[in-house]
């Protein structure tokens, strides 16, 4: 048994004081008691909150973060960024993919994310042919998660076509294209090789699948989360309307029947009916506010959606920055800038920081099908401790700690992080961070030297 003791901890019932936690050898919380006396051998910390899910990741994109911030000859957009991204991934080897993912996951853990949903579509070799082991790159993601101690929800992607109406894929998409039978085999392979891994499925977007291949994938995957990009760009909504007469989220509501297994990534452009029906469906909106700002996607209808009890999680998607506070603060600030008002996403009298943290932890755990997101008996012990002397936290209690972290801290006040009880971050640094960073540096120096 690992014994922990926290002066303050955020429990499902709210903030509690003098909280003793016992972690069983399998990494789950065996016992928890508030108002307790610390056992002499307990490892003590001042403030504990549950680890957060990062619901949407394309790990390799961390290697190009900041490399698309130079204005091109014509007007830049999501679509010109995508061309830069395609150019970058062209030359990645399996070793590069593992090295970049390792660095990314170490940074995520240092930020307080304890599980990641890897929306994995880099399947093929640079020339578009499958690897000898079709799971080669998917296995590199598993290896990076194992090395860093990150909990992984692996989401192999179905990428079937270039765009709506069976448009052929482009040369830039050759590393993604895999027929639905091969994707189902990849999912089965990962499940067989890694019995404890959470494996779901991810039709890339309505653009990139056919209705038939989408149905085949969903029918073949009776369990596990289902993630799809939806309604990120206005052009995508217009193209979907031209193709089907319906907007993307409406199409998904009507044709696949959304429910708790589903996580719709972005959902930036929704009409009022889509907001209402998505919120009522029990599905999670996988919001990626920092990436959405970086790519110029638009503003999520957060006030309407949360007002109707819509569920959400957050993801760092393109990984332009890895910071939990940035994601939640950007979500709130987008609403403030649009509405020219303050404190948009909390109910009257409630803390914005606590509201956002609490909804993202619950929605995120659901979207990744991970037994996490709450410090309570029976859950995996994913626990983040915060530095009480951090300038944005010092002297504060309870909700004000989260408001300080999310809105006022220049660097994350994360002190330690445990995933399933195992200590992976200590004193704010990942325990294997130096080796991981050295490997990443070698990878990037080689990649950018040939560029
Ligand atoms: C992705 N990223 O799959 O990495 C996408 C770009 C696409 C975002 N949507 C490619 N943020 O959507 O076609
Ligand atoms: Zn994405």
43 and 127 housed in the same domain: no
* pLDDT classification of 246: cutoffs 50, 70, 90: very high
Instruction: Write the CATH number for 387.
Output: 2.30.40.10
Which is catalytic among the residues 266, 269, 319, 390?
266
121 and 165 housed in the same domain: yes
pLDDT of residue 291: 98
Whether 94 is in a domain gets the answer yes
Mutate to test the pocket of ligand 1, among 318, 319, 320 (most ligand atoms within 8 A of CB): 318
Q: Which ligand is nearest to the CA of 121?
A: 1
73 and 149 housed in the same domain: yes
The answer to whether the CB of 148 falls within 8 A of the CB of 431 is no
Residue of minimum CA distance from atom 6 in ligand 1: 82
123 and 32 housed in the same domain: no
Whether 445 is in a domain gets the answer no
Q: Which atom of ligand 1 is nearest to the CA of 121?
A: 3
pLDDT higher than 80, residue 2: yes
CA of 229 to the centre of ligand 2 (A): 6
pLDDT of residue 85: 97
43 and 66 housed in the same domain: no
CA of 232 to the centre of ligand 2 (A): 9
- Measured from CB, residues less than 6 Å from any atom of ligand 1 are 58, 82, 205, 229, 232, 291, 295, 317-318
* Structural domain boundaries enclosing 44: 2-50+375-435
Residue of minimum CA distance from atom 10 in ligand 1: 82
Q: Which ligand is nearest to the CA of 169?
A: 1
The answer to whether the CB of 210 falls within 8 A of the CB of 165 is no
Residue of minimum CA distance from atom 7 in ligand 1: 82
Mutate to test the pocket of ligand 1, among 55, 58, 60, 118 (most ligand atoms within 8 A of CB): 58
Tokens matching residue 198? 């959470």
pLDDT higher than 70, residue 451: no
Q: Could you read off the pLDDT of 279-288 as tens digits, one per residue?
A: 999 999 999 9
104 and 237 housed in the same domain: yes
pLDDT of residue 149: 98
Q: What percent of the chain is modeled with pLDDT above 70?
A: 100
Which DSSP letter does residue 265 get? Answer: E
CA of 439 to the centre of ligand 1 (A): 26
Q: Which helix (H) or strand (E) holds 140?
A: helix 136-148
Q: Could you read off the pLDDT of 106-164 as tens digits, one per residue?
A: 999 999 999 999 999 999 999 999 999 999 999 999 999 999 999 999 999 999 999 99
Closest CA to 102 of 142, 74, 69, 71: 142
CA of 412 to the centre of ligand 2 (A): 24
Q: Which ligand is nearest to the CA of 162?
A: 1
Q: For the chain, how big is the Rg over CA atoms in Å?
A: 21
Q: What is the mean pLDDT of residues 349-375?
A: 98
428 and 284 housed in the same domain: no
Helices (H), 340-432: 352-368, 399-403
Q: Which atom of ligand 1 is nearest to the CA of 233?
A: 9
Q: Which of 316, 333, 368 is the last residue of a domain?
A: 368
Of the CA atoms within 13 Å of residue 373, those in its CB half-sphere come to 21
Q: Could you read off the pLDDT of 14-31 as tens digits, one per residue?
A: 999 999 999 999 999 999
Q: What is the mean pLDDT of residues 296-308?
A: 98
Give the angle 419-149-188 at the CA atoms, nearest 5°: 105
Which is catalytic among the residues 317, 323, 358, 399?
317
Residue of minimum CA distance from atom 4 in ligand 1: 58
pLDDT of residue 310: 98
Q: Quote the distance between the C-alpha of residue 48 and its chain's center.
A: 21
Residue 266 annotated among the catalytic residues of the structure? yes
pLDDT higher than 70, residue 309: yes
Q: Could you read off the pLDDT of 27-72 as tens digits, one per residue?
A: 999 999 999 999 999 999 999 999 999 999 999 999 999 999 999 9
pLDDT of residue 13: 96
Residue 317 annotated among the catalytic residues of the structure? yes
Q: Which ligand is nearest to the CA of 170?
A: 1
Q: Could you read off the pLDDT of 318-336 as tens digits, one per residue?
A: 999 999 999 999 999 999 9
CA of 118 to the centre of ligand 1 (A): 13
CA of 68 to the centre of ligand 1 (A): 14
**Domains identified in the chain, total number:** 2
pLDDT higher than 90, residue 95: yes
412 and 337 housed in the same domain: no
388 and 362 housed in the same domain: no
pTM for the complete prediction?
Answer: 0.98
Beta strands 198-199 and 151-158 are parallel
Tokens matching residue 322? 């890895």
41 and 110 housed in the same domain: no
Q: Which of 368, 391, 406 is the last residue of a domain?
A: 368
Instruction: Write the CATH number for 307.
Output: 3.20.20.140
């Amino acid at each position: 048994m690992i014994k922990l003791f926290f002066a303050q901890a955020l429990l499902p019932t709210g903030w509690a004081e003098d909280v003793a936690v016992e972690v069983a050898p399998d990494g789950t919380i065996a016992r928890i008691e508030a108002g307790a006396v610390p056992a002499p051998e307990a490892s003590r910390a001042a403030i504990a909150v549950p680890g957060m899910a990062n619901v949407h990741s394309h790990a390799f994109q961390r290697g190009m973060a900041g490399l698309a911030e130079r204005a091109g000859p014509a007007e830049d957009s999501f679509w010109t960024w995508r061309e830069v991204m395609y150019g970058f991934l062209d030359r990645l080897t399996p070793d590069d993919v593992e090295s970049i993912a390792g660095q990314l996951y170490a940074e995520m853990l240092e930020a307080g994310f304890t599980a990641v949903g890897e929306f994995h579509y880099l399947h093929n070799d640079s020339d578009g042919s499958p690897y000898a082991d079709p799971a080669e790159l998917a296995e590199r993601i598993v290896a990076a998660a194992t090395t860093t101690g990150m909990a992984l929800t692996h989401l192999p992607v179905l990428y079937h076509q270039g765009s709506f109406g069976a448009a052929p894929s482009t040369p830039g998409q050759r590393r993604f294209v895999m027929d639905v039978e091969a994707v189902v085999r990849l999912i089965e392979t990962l499940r067989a090789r890694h019995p404890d891994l959470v494996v779901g499925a991810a039709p890339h977007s309505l653009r990139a699948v056919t209705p038939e291949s989408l149905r085949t994938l969903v029918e073949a995957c009776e369990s596990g989360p289902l993630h799809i990009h939806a309604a990120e760009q206005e052009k995508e909504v217009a193209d979907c309307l031209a193709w089907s007469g319906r907007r993307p989220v409406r199409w998904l509501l009507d044709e696949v029947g959304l429910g708790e297994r589903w996580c719709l990534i972005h959902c930036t452009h929704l009409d009022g009916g889509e907001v209402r029906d998505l919120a009522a469906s029990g599905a999670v909106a996988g919001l990626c506010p920092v990436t959405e700002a970086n790519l110029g996607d638009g503003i999520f209808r957060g006030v309407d959606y949360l007002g109707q009890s819509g569920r959400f999680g957050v993801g760092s998607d393109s990984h332009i920055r890895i910071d939990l506070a940035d994601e939640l603060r950007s979500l709130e600030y987008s609403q403030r800038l649009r509405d020219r008002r303050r404190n948009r996403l909390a109910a009257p009298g409630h803390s914005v920081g606590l509201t956002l943290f609490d909804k993202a932890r619950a929605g995120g755990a659901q979207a990744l099908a991970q037994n996490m997101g709450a410090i309570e008996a029976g859950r995996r012990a994913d626990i983040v401790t915060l530095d009480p002397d951090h300038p944005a936290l010092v002297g504060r209690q309870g909700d004000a700690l989260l408001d300080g972290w999310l809105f006022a801290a220049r660097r994350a006040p994360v002190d330690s992080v445990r995933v399933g009880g195992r200590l992976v971050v200590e004193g704010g640094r990942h325990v294997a961070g130096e080796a991981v960073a050295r490997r990443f540096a070698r990878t990037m120096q080689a990649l950018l030297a040939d560029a």
